[in-house]
Amino acid sequence: MNGNWIIILISLIPIFTSMKMVFKKNYKNNIKNSLFLSISVIFGIYILLYGVHNIGSDKAGLGLWMYLFALCVMIWEMLSSWSEIDTSLNSKLNFVINLVVPVLFGISLLFLWQVLTVGLKIPHILLPSPLKIGIAFSNSIPMLWEDFQQTFLKAVLSGYFMGCFSGFIIAIMVDRIPFLQKGLLPLGNLISALPIIGIAPIMVMWFGFDWQSKAAVVVIMTFFPMLVNTITGLSVTGQIEKDLLHSYAANYWQNLILLRIPVSLPFVFNALKINSTLALIGAIVAEFFGTPIVGMGFRISAEIGRLNVDIVWATILVAAVSGSMFYALITICERSLTSWHPSIREN
């Protein structure tokens, strides 16, 4: 009985918090109020998760779903409160806020996912709950690590660096040799429009079933975005800067290394970020057409056939996290090498 009273008291905390927000005059968004609101939301999340797992949506009925709706409104206000905090004069606070908001948003989505899948009794085959996916992930770490090594460390990284590096070098050659620009770019646009499902089987036939064929697909997918972006970046150099180096009697290579390549770095990094996602997608899809019994693409296609949907989602989680970390690493390098660019200085 005492436990039930504790649950009831905890469930009232979000209600009192919302009443305070409504009736308190001059309510403003600051760290203190945002923390208070976040703690209240955490209590509300605990109550709802307790309700759907222990009481059940059938017994709780309409009250549970009304409480969920009210809590969603509070989550909205919580995220808005953190986002509207003035951080213009404090760079460290700005960094913390930019980290806190997406973390809270992600946790809120996982909470809604868990409540809806359990409360609505969605079949496991259609959509497993985050809890089941987490259990499957923890029980399959050695297998997922082998898949990560095969797909990301071997196929994605090797194909990514070969494709981006060759695209950058060919872009410099195209800039130096005019007829390549007229002959190679139209061909490049044609090849870049080819679907992955058409390229992947051919690469498997050429390079075998191991990671080399997947790396070849990644090379094709990453080569032309780097080529086009680098050529565009090399062409945006201002005339004043060109005249300045010309007055110093700089030759073509000095002009290229000292001026045009640094100016083109924002375009190069734009291609690197685009290719970071394309490479992972290309490698996973290519594994559907032939691979050893390891790899993210193989794991997805094999486990979905066995109806082990939680393993499929765990593999998707590994792919999403690795792709996001790779993208974040490129973004950090971009900020350090292009700090002079207006888009970086404004942030």
Cβ-contact 279, 159 below 8 angstroms: yes
pLDDT band with cut points at 50, 70 and 90 for residue 34: confident
Is 78 domain-assigned?
A: yes
- The whole-chain average pLDDT of the chain stands at 79
More confident residue, 62 or 102: 102
Same domain, 198 and 299: yes
pLDDT band with cut points at 50, 70 and 90 for residue 57: low
Range of the structural domain that residue 42 is part of: 2-121
Same domain, 113 and 161: no
Q: Can you tell me the distance from the alpha carbon of 156 to that of 219, in angstroms, rounded to the nearest whole number?
A: 9
pLDDT digit string, tens, across residues 76-133: 888 888 888 777 767 777 778 888 888 888 888 888 888 888 878 888 888 888 888 8
Most confident option among 1-15, 18-32, 88-102? 88-102
- DSSP line for 166-215: HHHHHHHHHHH-HHHHHHHHHHHHHHHTS-HHHHHHHHHHHH-SSHHHHH
Predicted confidence at residue 28, as pLDDT, reads 55
Q: Judge whether residue 160 has pLDDT over 80.
A: yes
Same domain, 114 and 146: no
Same domain, 44 and 177: no
Same domain, 269 and 329: yes
Same domain, 181 and 330: yes
Same domain, 111 and 156: no
Q: Judge whether residue 21 has pLDDT over 60.
A: no
Q: Judge whether residue 328 has pLDDT over 80.
A: yes
Same domain, 63 and 32: yes
Token digits of residue 57: 């949506």
Q: How many domains does the chain have?
A: 2
Residue where a domain terminates, one of 121, 153, 178: 121
Same domain, 97 and 42: yes
Q: Judge whether residue 223 has pLDDT over 70.
A: yes
